[in-house]
Amino acid sequence: MEDKRLYTFISNIGNWIVSLAYINLLWVAYSTMGLFILGMFPATVSLFSVIRQWLKHKHITSVWNVYHSTFKKEFVKSNIIGYFYLTVGVITYVDFKFFHTQDNIMFLTLSYTVLIILFIYGITGLFLFPVLVHYDLKIMSYFKYTFLIIVSHPVIFLITVLVLMSACLLMLFIPGLILFFGLSVPAYIIMWSSYKAFKKVDVQSSVK
């Protein structure tokens, strides 16, 4: 009996490792097909969509079919959201650099204000894709809803950031892991914590 449990445990771990490596390679392949410029964001949405189904304990007959259909379905919307987010980030960063280089108290104060905005921007970006695959909202509402969920569940997201940092440090020490798990493992961590927050939000909404 113990041998059977051990075998099942090892088999499950092996399946998870293979599955995470597979969707990571799918991300690389689909991002490359879109020359990264057009493929990166829909490939990322597809990755999170597959992970979300795993977390919901849905049986996926073909991971590739789910990934491919999501890639096509979300191609336009994910690129609009992704590049809007990226553009805002670039503009905000340029503002920060400009304010920071000015020899003036007012500009220095503004630079720290913009730095706080950049921090909020970065945290929002981490959890934007889980919101995108879980909810059907208007484009601008995704940003607002992501921010509100983070603010309402700070402990969950703080722990997530710490775990993410640990995973990234591990990959820096073992660079060979990046090709197979560089995005899939961080995405799983983010989607797992986000899904816990979503379930709490959905329960609270249903009670109301």
pLDDT tens sequence across 73-108: 999 999 999 999 999 999 999 999 988 888 888 888
Q: How confident is the model at residue 107, as a pLDDT? A: 84
SS (H, E, C) the chain: CHHHHHHHHHHHHHHHHHHHHHHHHHHHHHHHHCCCCCCHHHHHHHHHHHHHHHHCCCCCCCHHHHHHHHHHHCHHHHHHHHHHHHHHHHHHHHHHHHHHHCCCHHHHHHHHHHHHHHHHHHHHHHHHHHHHHHCCCCHHHHHHHHHHHHHHCHHHHHHHHHHHHHHHHHHHHCCCHHHHHCCHHHHHHHHHHHHHHHHHHHHHHHHC
Q: How confident is the model at residue 94, as a pLDDT? A: 93
Range of the domain at 35: 2-207
Q: How confident is the model at residue 6, as a pLDDT? A: 74
Residue 205 pLDDT > 70, yes or no?
no
Query: What is the number of structural domains in the chain?
Result: 1
Q: How confident is the model at residue 207, as a pLDDT? A: 45
Q: How confident is the model at residue 108, as a pLDDT? A: 84
pLDDT tens sequence across 125-144: 999 999 999 999 999 999 99
pTM for this predicted structure: 0.91
